[in-house]
Amino acid sequence: MNKPQRDVTLRFLAEPQDVNFGGKVHGGAVMKWIDLAAYACAAGWSGRYCVTAYAGGIRFVAPIHVGSLVEVEAKVIYTGNSSMHIALEVNACDPKSLNRRLTTHCIVIMVAVDQNGQSEQVPQWIPKTEADKKQHASAVKLMEMRKQIGEEMQIFVE
Protein backbone atom coordinates (compact mmCIF):
# COMPACT_ATOMS: atom_id res chain seq x y z
CA MET A 1 0.00 0.00 0.00
CA ASN A 2 1.19 3.51 -0.78
CA LYS A 3 1.99 5.87 2.07
CA PRO A 4 -0.90 8.28 2.75
CA GLN A 5 -0.36 11.79 1.40
CA ARG A 6 -0.78 14.41 4.13
CA ASP A 7 -0.94 17.54 1.99
CA VAL A 8 -1.82 18.77 -1.46
CA THR A 9 -1.53 22.06 -3.33
CA LEU A 10 -3.82 23.01 -6.22
CA ARG A 11 -2.48 25.72 -8.58
CA PHE A 12 -4.40 27.50 -11.33
CA LEU A 13 -5.24 30.93 -12.72
CA ALA A 14 -8.35 32.80 -11.53
CA GLU A 15 -10.61 33.10 -14.58
CA PRO A 16 -13.18 35.69 -15.70
CA GLN A 17 -16.11 33.39 -14.83
CA ASP A 18 -14.94 33.54 -11.16
CA VAL A 19 -15.52 37.31 -10.89
CA ASN A 20 -18.24 38.97 -8.79
CA PHE A 21 -20.04 42.28 -9.38
CA GLY A 22 -17.18 44.12 -7.67
CA GLY A 23 -14.63 42.85 -10.17
CA LYS A 24 -12.87 40.48 -7.76
CA VAL A 25 -13.08 36.69 -7.47
CA HIS A 26 -16.38 35.69 -5.87
CA GLY A 27 -16.21 34.21 -2.35
CA GLY A 28 -18.29 31.26 -3.53
CA ALA A 29 -15.64 30.40 -6.12
CA VAL A 30 -12.98 30.47 -3.41
CA MET A 31 -15.12 28.20 -1.22
CA LYS A 32 -15.48 25.74 -4.12
CA TRP A 33 -11.68 25.67 -4.55
CA ILE A 34 -11.29 25.06 -0.82
CA ASP A 35 -13.73 22.14 -0.97
CA LEU A 36 -11.92 20.62 -3.96
CA ALA A 37 -8.52 20.86 -2.23
CA ALA A 38 -9.96 19.45 1.01
CA TYR A 39 -11.38 16.49 -0.92
CA ALA A 40 -8.09 15.84 -2.74
CA CYS A 41 -6.19 16.01 0.55
CA ALA A 42 -8.63 13.76 2.45
CA ALA A 43 -8.83 11.21 -0.39
CA GLY A 44 -5.04 11.19 -0.64
CA TRP A 45 -4.72 10.56 3.09
CA SER A 46 -7.48 7.98 3.47
CA GLY A 47 -7.46 6.28 0.08
CA ARG A 48 -11.26 6.55 0.21
CA TYR A 49 -14.09 8.62 -1.23
CA CYS A 50 -14.75 11.49 1.19
CA VAL A 51 -17.55 13.96 1.86
CA THR A 52 -17.51 17.38 3.45
CA ALA A 53 -18.95 17.33 6.97
CA TYR A 54 -17.99 20.84 8.09
CA ALA A 55 -16.38 24.02 6.79
CA GLY A 56 -15.74 26.79 9.25
CA GLY A 57 -13.68 29.70 10.36
CA ILE A 58 -13.46 30.92 6.79
CA ARG A 59 -11.60 34.22 6.72
CA PHE A 60 -11.40 36.22 3.52
CA VAL A 61 -8.25 38.24 4.23
CA ALA A 62 -7.59 39.84 0.83
CA PRO A 63 -9.26 39.87 -2.59
CA ILE A 64 -8.16 37.73 -5.52
CA HIS A 65 -8.01 39.37 -8.95
CA VAL A 66 -8.86 37.70 -12.22
CA GLY A 67 -5.65 36.44 -13.81
CA SER A 68 -3.97 35.82 -10.46
CA LEU A 69 -2.05 32.62 -9.89
CA VAL A 70 -3.96 30.92 -7.07
CA GLU A 71 -2.57 28.24 -4.74
CA VAL A 72 -4.88 26.31 -2.42
CA GLU A 73 -2.81 24.44 0.15
CA ALA A 74 -4.48 21.71 2.21
CA LYS A 75 -3.03 19.49 4.93
CA VAL A 76 -4.29 17.00 7.48
CA ILE A 77 -3.97 18.36 11.04
CA TYR A 78 -6.10 15.81 12.94
CA THR A 79 -7.73 12.45 12.32
CA GLY A 80 -10.61 10.81 14.10
CA ASN A 81 -12.00 7.34 13.37
CA SER A 82 -13.43 8.33 9.99
CA SER A 83 -12.86 12.08 9.92
CA MET A 84 -9.94 14.21 8.82
CA HIS A 85 -9.51 17.84 9.83
CA ILE A 86 -7.93 19.74 6.97
CA ALA A 87 -6.29 23.16 7.37
CA LEU A 88 -6.46 25.24 4.21
CA GLU A 89 -4.75 28.39 3.00
CA VAL A 90 -5.45 30.21 -0.23
CA ASN A 91 -2.63 32.37 -1.57
CA ALA A 92 -2.61 34.45 -4.75
CA CYS A 93 -0.18 36.51 -6.74
CA ASP A 94 0.43 38.11 -10.10
CA PRO A 95 2.01 35.30 -12.11
CA LYS A 96 4.66 37.70 -13.40
CA SER A 97 5.88 38.74 -9.92
CA LEU A 98 5.17 35.58 -7.86
CA ASN A 99 4.81 37.80 -4.76
CA ARG A 100 2.35 35.53 -2.91
CA ARG A 101 -0.12 36.87 -0.36
CA LEU A 102 -2.57 35.10 1.91
CA THR A 103 -6.16 35.66 0.77
CA THR A 104 -8.25 33.09 2.65
CA HIS A 105 -7.88 30.41 5.35
CA CYS A 106 -10.16 27.93 7.11
CA ILE A 107 -10.68 24.42 8.46
CA VAL A 108 -12.68 21.73 6.67
CA ILE A 109 -13.66 18.36 8.14
CA MET A 110 -13.96 15.51 5.66
CA VAL A 111 -15.35 12.03 6.36
CA ALA A 112 -14.39 8.87 4.49
CA VAL A 113 -17.44 6.90 3.34
CA ASP A 114 -18.16 3.65 1.51
CA GLN A 115 -20.46 3.22 -1.51
CA ASN A 116 -23.49 3.21 0.83
CA GLY A 117 -22.53 6.47 2.51
CA GLN A 118 -21.43 4.74 5.73
CA SER A 119 -18.33 6.13 7.41
CA GLU A 120 -15.09 4.19 7.04
CA GLN A 121 -11.98 4.17 9.18
CA VAL A 122 -9.03 6.33 8.11
CA PRO A 123 -5.32 6.01 8.92
CA GLN A 124 -4.35 7.87 12.06
CA TRP A 125 -2.17 10.95 11.63
CA ILE A 126 0.42 11.40 14.36
CA PRO A 127 2.02 14.85 14.71
CA LYS A 128 5.81 14.78 14.63
CA THR A 129 7.17 18.34 14.51
CA GLU A 130 6.45 21.13 16.97
CA ALA A 131 4.37 22.88 14.31
CA ASP A 132 2.39 19.65 13.76
CA LYS A 133 1.76 19.33 17.50
CA LYS A 134 0.52 22.94 17.72
CA GLN A 135 -1.82 22.42 14.75
CA HIS A 136 -3.09 19.16 16.25
CA ALA A 137 -3.75 20.85 19.61
CA SER A 138 -5.53 23.69 17.82
CA ALA A 139 -7.75 21.17 16.00
CA VAL A 140 -8.71 19.58 19.34
CA LYS A 141 -9.51 22.99 20.81
CA LEU A 142 -11.58 23.91 17.76
CA MET A 143 -13.58 20.66 18.14
CA GLU A 144 -14.51 21.69 21.67
CA MET A 145 -15.48 25.16 20.49
CA ARG A 146 -17.63 23.73 17.65
CA LYS A 147 -19.58 21.68 20.18
CA GLN A 148 -20.40 24.85 22.09
CA ILE A 149 -21.32 26.70 18.91
CA GLY A 150 -23.50 23.76 17.82
CA GLU A 151 -25.40 23.91 21.08
CA GLU A 152 -25.95 27.65 20.67
CA MET A 153 -27.10 27.19 17.07
CA GLN A 154 -29.86 24.75 18.07
CA ILE A 155 -32.23 27.67 18.56
CA PHE A 156 -32.16 28.21 14.78
CA VAL A 157 -33.02 24.63 13.81
CA GLU A 158 -35.79 23.81 16.27
> Is 60 exceeded by the pLDDT of residue 1?
no
CA 109, 115, 120, 123 torsion-angle sign: negative
Mean pLDDT, range 39-46, rounded to an integer: 98
Least Cα distance to 50 among 123, 147, 106, 100 occurs for: 123
Per-residue pLDDT reduced to its tens digit, 85-105: 999 999 999 999 989 999 999
Are 95 and 13 a contacting pair, CB within 8 Å?
yes
Delimit the domains of the chain by residue range: 7-156
Mean pLDDT, range 70-78, rounded to an integer: 98
Per-residue pLDDT reduced to its tens digit, 116-144: 999 999 999 999 999 999 999 999 999 99
Alpha-helical segments (H) within 1-129:
27-46
What superfamily does domain 7-156 belong to in CATH?
A: Hotdog Thioesterase (3.10.129.10)
pLDDT at 158: 73
Entry pTM: 0.93
Distance CA 78, CA 94 (A): 33
